[in-house]
Amino acid sequence: MKVCPKCGQAFNDDNLSYCLLDGEQLVGGSEPTLVIPATGQVDTADAAPKKKRKTFLWIALALVVLLIGGAMLVAVAYVSYRFGSERARSNKTASVNTTSSPIANKASATTTPSATQSPSTSPNDEDTDEVIPILWNTSATQVKQDVGLVYRFECPTSGTAAAVWGSDIYTADSSICTAAVHAGKITLADGGEVTIEMRPGRSIYGSTTRNGITSSTYGQYPTSFVVH
């Protein structure tokens, strides 16, 4: 192959001596060299997308790990909060039931006579014609509770109201004198004579406020009394 040094035109006919375009004398040329890439050589144009793809996968994996970790932390915090709330509620309920609940005090009064109750004034006599002196915390559980029995008691002056459950019909462990004030038969200041009659138990006892005394509600109780 020959090449024109003036115009650069190449001619494959080796017999030509002058350029057919401008008449310049041709000179010998060489074949273009074909470059073959070495085995294992990586095209940089293909390597860049692969590198970007790998980086994206690592970022996505890191985000997934962070999301799972965050969800676990939230779950642990929620469980801890619920556990703490339930424990606090249980402690509060136990505290109320043992210290301030009228029913808890009611059960205690039923099973253990008051330390202030004098043996000489305990209403153990079944003679209903006798007026028995009692204290303001005395209940009908300290006498025989057969239905229909009638008792007469004497409440002292300057009384202090005690627990009462029911309205008109009171649980047997209610304060006799306080029930009489609630029923309008006597007053805290003056005290006085009270007559009660034993009645059967009821499934529920209501609550009302009368004469400065507020009675409490209660469920089933085996024996009751009314104030005459």
The reported pTM is: 0.47
Does 56 fall in a domain?
A: no
The string of pLDDT tens digits covering residues 118-146 is 333 445 544 457 899 999 999 999 999 99
Say whether both 28 and 120 belong to one domain: no
How many Å apart are CA 209 and CA 214, to the nearest integer? Answer: 4
Does 13 fall in a domain?
A: yes
Residue 48 pLDDT? 60
Mean per-residue pLDDT for 182-194? 96
Residue 39 pLDDT? 56
pLDDT of residue 109 exceeding 70, the answer is no
Does 27 fall in a domain?
A: yes
Higher pLDDT, 95 or 206: 206
How many Å apart are CA 92 and CA 85, to the nearest integer? Answer: 10
- Which domain, by its residues, includes 9? 1-32
Helix (H/G/I), strand (E/B), else coil: 185: coil
CA distance readout (Å), 99 to 14, 95, 106, 155, 207: 123, 6, 12, 28, 21
Residues of the chain above pLDDT 90, percent: 43
Does 121 fall in a domain?
A: yes
**CATH number for 141:** 2.170.130.20
Residue 44 pLDDT? 53
Does 80 fall in a domain?
A: no
Does 97 fall in a domain?
A: no
Among 80-84, 106-110, 186-190, 221-225, the minimum mean pLDDT is found in 106-110
Say whether both 26 and 129 belong to one domain: no
How many domains in the chain?
Answer: 2
Does 63 fall in a domain?
A: no
Does 24 fall in a domain?
A: yes
Residues 6+ apart with CB under 8 A from 37: none
The string of pLDDT tens digits covering residues 142-178 is 999 999 999 999 999 999 999 999 999 999 999 999 9
